[in-house]
A and B are shown apart, each in its own frame.
Chain A
Amino acid sequence: MATVSVCKYYPGGFSFDNCKRNALLEADISKLGFSSPAARKTGTTICGVVYKDGVVLGADTRATEGMIVADKNCSKIHYISPNIYCCGAGTAADTEMTTQIISSNLELHSLSTGRLPRVATANRMLKQMLFRYQGYIGAALVLGGVDCNGPHLYSIYPHGSTDKLPYVTMGSGSLAAMAVFEDRYRPNMEEEEAKRLVRDAIAAGIFNDLGSGSNIDLCVITKGKVDYLRPHDVANKKGVREDKVYGHPVTGSYRYKHGTTGVLTKTVTPLNLEVVEESVQTMDTS
């Protein structure tokens, strides 16, 4: 049986058909004087530390679109499995979707094996997916969790390389946060000390990096328990204006008491004018 039309074969992978269209649009738009919208990125500070009983992950909460803050309180610590969480830096959509895909696959895997998922498994899945897309998925991740082999912490780069370390930082504020870690990290810290260390590292990123800001979120993962502290610390509180002075609200009020401005001199100059013509034009107040 012959078919009337030939089906077009779509090979797998990315379709770059729209790139030519986008290039033409870009040229047209710039001729009119506008700029095309920028992808929303999370210029970010994320970090993680392994302590005595588990892992502490931390993140700031600012999402930027170019030079504007798009979201003042976004959540960068994503759920992967009950015992594994992942902080994401880079393109916001990429980190969100990548972590959701791996979380879904890991849940199916866990149901299939009948075991609690391991951090190394999540790491393998993430690195193999990111390598497959050769760095075009802009997701830089800090993966941490506790499984049957103890606490584990990985940093995963957009091209698919991973490092397994006791403390890691990622994002535009990573240098500021790493400075704090290199100074104060010790192996086998207590929980409070570890939380304080992560909080200070994220604060360093918030105050010294333009791409990071707002609040500090923490996630403390131990065997059998996860504390998702959102927000753990509001590092930048919005100030409150002096509300009531002289008995009435001062904010936005421009009524001043008689005598607020002192009068130095008063000169009255009468103007001797002759009325030539007088016409009245009524205003339309209907």
Chain B
Amino acid sequence: LAKCTFFISHLTFSDILYCDENVCVCVQTTIMAVEFDGGVVMGADSRTTTGAYIANRVTDKLTPIHERIFCCRSGSAADTQAIADAVTYQLGFHSIELDEAPLVQTAASLFRDMCYRYREELMAGIIVAGWDRRRGGQVYTVPVGGMMTRQPVSVGGSGSSYIYGFVDSNYKPAMSKEECLKFTAEALTLAMERDGSSGGVVRLAVISEQGVERQVILGNQLPKFSTV
């Protein structure tokens, strides 16, 4: 986030003609993941910005890393795409060596190693979530700086600041898959409503032993809250 504001303050009128180089492409966003018994629910908005212009209004920020492991990306688009590609390669190689499906913790560790080692050069906030046979559904958060910790529910991105209260008060342990989907969709809608850098559609993914189910909730189908 700090890197972006530095670039924006340097924009003058004459720079607008060449604005593509002076401003970084950001995935300032709202991302979220919730564990339930049997899997995880992940959600994200779909906005990528270059300064005040929306470069992509239908971005898919839920990136597959392996068959039953996904990651939510926030921060610099270039950095997170490059890291995700590198980890996908490393995890795929590791999985072939092991001849079995990799653990979610392994994927999260690979993200953590890269984000911590290059913490000065990178701006990436990542939530790794998935299902494996050993521990079931897991959510690991790897924020800017390279820490890694497992959490039952995790939010990230610029829009997350607006929904900590909602998440803390509405999360209950042992929710069902449908309750988790509703909880995630509502939280993301509230964040998208208030955060300028989040918007578009809500993309959801449910990862369980059976596989991955993906959904899109379009703008007019989002849950409605009364605003005064």
Is the A/B pair a real complex?
yes
How does the 8 Å CB contact mask read for A101-136 relative to B, with 1 for contact and 0 for none?
A: 000000000000000000000000001101100110
Interface hub of A90, A163, A175 (most chain B Cβ within 10 A): A163
- Residue A41, interface by CB 8 Å: yes
A159 at interface, CB cutoff 8 A: yes
Whether A43 touches B17, Cβ cut-off 8 Å, given contacts A127-B81, A162-B81, A163-B55, is yes
**Known contacts A165-B58, A175-B53, A160 near B82 by CB under 8 Å:** yes
On whether the beta carbons of B20 and A170 are closer than 8 Å, the reply is: yes
- Note all chain A residues with C-beta closer than 8 A to B30: none
* Residue contact B20 to A161, C-beta cutoff 8 Å: no
Task: Choose from B16, B17, B25 the contact partner of A161 (Cβ within 8 Å).
Answer: B25
Is the CB of A85 closer than 8 A to any CB of chain B? no
Q: Which of B17, B20, B48, B82 contacts A158 (CB 8 A)?
A: B20
Would you call B175 an interface residue if the criterion is a C-beta within 8 Å of the partner chain's C-beta atoms? no
When A163-B55, A165-B56, A165-B58 are in contact, do A157 and B77 touch as well, CB less than 8 Å?
yes
Say if the beta carbon of B76 comes within 8 Å of chain A.
Answer: yes
Task: With both chains docked as a complex, state the minimum distance between the C-beta of A197 and any C-beta of chain B, in angstroms.
Answer: 19
CB-based nearest A residue for B24: A159
- Interface contact A89-B20, CB-CB below 8 Å: yes
* A210 interface neighbour in B17, B79, B85, Cβ under 8 Å: B17
Contact B78 A161 (CB under 8 A): yes
Give Cα A175 to B53, complex, Å: 8
Q: Is the CB of A159 within 8 A of B76?
A: yes
Report the nearest B residue to A130, measured CB to CB.
B78
CB distance from A158 to the nearest CB of B (A): 6
Distance in angstroms between the alpha carbons of A43 and B16 in the assembled complex = 10
**CA–CA, A157 and B50, complex, Å:** 10
Q: Does B67 reach chain A (CB closer than 8 Å)?
A: no
**Contacting residue for A172 out of B16, B56, B58, B78, CB 8 A:** B16
Chain A's closest residue to B19 (CB) is A172
Q: Within the assembled complex, what's the spacing in Å between the Cα atoms of A155 and B53?
A: 15
The CA of A174 and the CA of B81, in the complex, are separated in Å by: 23
Could you mark each residue 47-76 of chain B with 1 if its beta carbon is under 8 Å from any beta carbon of chain A, else 0?
010100101101100000000000000001
Distance (whole angstroms) from the CB of B43 to the closest CB of chain A: 20
Contacts of B113 in A (CB 8 A): none
Once the chains bind, are A138 and B21 in contact (CB under 8 Å)? yes
Extra inter-chain contacts (10) besides given A138-B21, A157-B50, CB under 8 Å: A41-B18, A90-B21, A130-B78, A134-B121, A140-B21, A157-B55, A160-B78, A161-B77, A163-B56, A175-B53
| Contact surface of A with B, Cβ cutoff 8 Å | 41, 43, 89-91, 127-128, 130-131, 134-135, 138, 140, 155, 157-163, 165, 170-172, 174-175, 209-211
27 of the cross-chain contacts (CB-CB < 8 Å) are A43-B17, A43-B18, A90-B21, A91-B21, A127-B78, A128-B82, A131-B78, A135-B24, A140-B20, A155-B56, A157-B77, A159-B24, A159-B77, A160-B82, A161-B25, A161-B76, A161-B81, A162-B81, A163-B55, A163-B56, A172-B16, A172-B18, A172-B19, A174-B20, A175-B53, A210-B17, A211-B18
Q: B residues within 8 Å of A by Cβ?
A: 16-21, 24-25, 48, 50, 53, 55-56, 58-59, 76-79, 81-82, 85, 121
